[in-house]
Structure 1
Amino acid sequence: MIDHRLHVLRALAEHGTVTATAAALHLTPSAVSQQLRGLAREVGAELLRPEGRRVRLTPAAHIVLRHADTLLGQWEALRAELARQNSAARGTLRLCGVSSALAALAAPAVTRLRQSHPLVEPLITEEESAECYRLLLAEEADVALVLPGPEAPPVTDTRFEQSPLLTDRQDLLVPDGHPFARRESVELAEAAGESWIVKKHNNDTYPLLTAACAAAGFTPRVTHQVKEWYAVSALVAEGLGVCLLPRIVPLPAHPVVRVPLCGGPAPVRRFLTAVPRGTAAHPLTAAGLEALHTAAAAHARGPEHRL
């Protein structure tokens, strides 16, 4: 019902080049160019202008994109309203998100979902937040658990419906025997001289760390670039550096100590749910969102309320 060429134009706006757009849509670059030329003829306006090896969207292209977002949102709302004619949510629900959110929130949510909606089959994919948004746009995911960051679209982006899910405080993780390990709490600024362990690329944690440290008045000196929490904890245990450990992440079985941070502003991670605009009311998506918010509320109340 919605002209596929609009999806191609949206993908080009997202990825920036014809080659990247073709890879994302599993098309050839020539097919992408051909479809965009056809769309330009259809709307009677120039949509692209060459700019070196790249192309630039014209003002007319941005007008088309704005209306395309509205059309696609209305189409999804139509599908959701029709789906609500059925009494039960059914089908495959594709969830994506960062690893810690999948472990702490998606896993118990899926258990609840299977109990309350036995006709729903959940599928889970781990990705960083920027990739989760891309999966939503490519119609390869239905619900994403994401963290706002420099590479994420703003909450005002009309392509998505985004809602707060959970605020997750972060603590300082230090080796057992570190001077901070005997403290009830420390201010983040006191750790300005420490070595830090965090992967800089393709990692939502890094911009959160740099933002928190900037607010505390320093730039962290990153010595080891490791991403997976168990490996990070192992390096901290060996005295190779410190890190910020989210409360949502269990304390690994290493000789390390989680030290609460005091003072302000306290570093936190704010999880959101994101879905393509118009889909939140679809019975399948709505069931998934309800299960996630129930899991987040139980997590916030404490271990005794979790599955």
Structure 2
Amino acid sequence: MFDSRHIRTFHEVVAAGSYSAAARSLGYTQPAITQQMKALERTVGVPLFTRAGRGLRLTEAGEALARHAEVILGSLDAAQQQLGALSRLRAGRVRVCAFPSANATLIPEAMARLIAEHPGVRVELLEAEPPESVRKLLRGECDVALAFSYPGGEAEVPEELVEIPLMEDRLTVLLPVGHPLARRHAVRLADLAEERWIAGCPRCRANLLKICADEGYAPDVVFTTDDNLAVQSLVAAGVGIALMPSLVLSFMCHAKVTGRLVEPHQHRRVSAYVLREHLRIPATAVVLDELRRAGASRAGC
């Protein structure tokens, strides 16, 4: 294994033409240069220099190493610059996996500030519902995972992960604008027992079944889709109603659909997850900071 200091000194000896000239250039003593070159020759296993009068001549092995030395040192310098940029937050890549409504709301807000304040940090965006987003994190397919959980349905966080709470997202019921209950500020879940329902992802569907059971009935689920735009279209068409998080209301696309809070109060917790050791990576830490700010700005919305 080459010592990078020996390679750098070797490169200077070749450029300067002698040990003494290299010593002056590097600020070393000549014996120190001699010792380093002997150590390098021991590593290589063959001589690198022969004497030619007062100067030095490269052996065949020395010529081969000289051809590679500049490339090696260039790569080392590039690596040092890149690592320095990463540690000073001038650069870095962070892979974020989030669920659809977070990708449409929290992520754009956080990334806009990130681009303005840390333009060298690049974010790659993936999409998955929980718990698949957390599984991707554990498999190394992303660096930060956004997920949500409902009261009573929280899964235990694996020991190697850290959970960073971002916000509580209140639940609303989506109704056609002409629905008799759309005139109310909030709608009691008990008043929706006779409605047809559109359910979302498995975690959301399980929560819908639970909270309706708490009110004494089983919802009549006629459609299931985790496509937020499809849910809105189905509600607009009058074929069913849906329980949706308030984050979805910020990108409501249908004028024929309205959202109303439900009673009793319902919410889901939105969190970011990261491997414990990755908290020390500057680019990851700054992405988490921006996600916290985005979540705080929407708290209570």
| Unaligned ranges ≥5, structure 2 | 1-82
Instruction: Assess, with a 3 A threshold, how the Cα gap between structure 1 residues 230 and 272 changes in structure 2: closer, same or farther.
Output: same
Q: Distance in 2 between matches of 1:296 and 1:216?
A: 30
Asked if 2 retains the 8 angstrom alpha-carbon contact of 1:233 and 1:252, the reply is yes
Task: Provide Cα deviations, 1:28-47, integer angstroms capped at 9, x if missing partner.
Answer: xxxxxxxxxxxxxxxxxxxx
Residue 89 of structure 1: how far off its partner (Å): 5.3
- AA aligned to 1:290 is D
Q: Secondary structure at the match of 1:88?
A: coil
Residue 193 of structure 1: how far off its partner (Å): 1.5
Counterpart of 2:208 in structure 1 is 209
| Unaligned ranges ≥5, structure 1 | 1-81, 303-307
Counterpart of 2:92 in structure 1 is 91
After superposition, where does 1:251-290 map in structure 2 within 5 Å? 251-262=252-263, 264=264, 266-290=265-289
Asked if 2 retains the 8 angstrom alpha-carbon contact of 1:174 and 1:258, the reply is yes
Aligned residues between the structures: 216
Are 1:194 and 2:195 matched, yes or no?
yes
TM-score by length of 2: 0.66
Counterpart of 1:154 in structure 2 is 156
Instruction: Assess, with a 3 A threshold, how the Cα gap between structure 1 residues 281 and 215 changes in structure 2: closer, same or farther.
Output: farther
After superposition, where does 1:122-201 map in structure 2 within 5 Å? 122-148=123-149, 153-155=155-157, 157-199=158-200
Q: Secondary structure at the match of 2:238?
A: coil
Please give the root-mean-square deviation of Cα atoms over the aligned residues, in Å. 2.4
**Identical aligned pairs, as a percentage?**
34
Q: Distance in 2 between matches of 1:98 and 1:88?
A: 26
Residue 288 of structure 1: how far off its partner (Å): 0.7
Instruction: Assess, with a 3 A threshold, how the Cα gap between structure 1 residues 85 and 238 changes in structure 2: closer, same or farther.
Output: closer
Asked if 2 retains the 8 angstrom alpha-carbon contact of 1:110 and 1:291, the reply is yes
Task: Provide Cα deviations, 1:242-269, integer angstroms capped at 9, x if missing partner.
Answer: 101211113322412212223x2x1211
Instruction: Assess, with a 3 A threshold, how the Cα gap between structure 1 residues 301 and 214 changes in structure 2: closer, same or farther.
Output: closer
Task: Provide Cα deviations, 1:226-257, integer angstroms capped at 9, x if missing partner.
Answer: 22112111111221111012111133224122
Q: Distance in 2 between matches of 1:89 and 1:152?
A: 37
Residue 135 of structure 1: how far off its partner (Å): 1.1
TM-score by length of 1: 0.65
Q: Distance in 1 between matches of 2:292 and 2:202?
A: 24
Asked if 2 retains the 8 angstrom alpha-carbon contact of 1:198 and 1:205, the reply is yes
Residue 158 of structure 1: how far off its partner (Å): 0.2
Residue 85 of structure 1: how far off its partner (Å): 8.9
- AA aligned to 2:137 is L
- AA aligned to 1:221 is D
Asked if 1 retains the 8 angstrom alpha-carbon contact of 2:144 and 2:272, the reply is yes
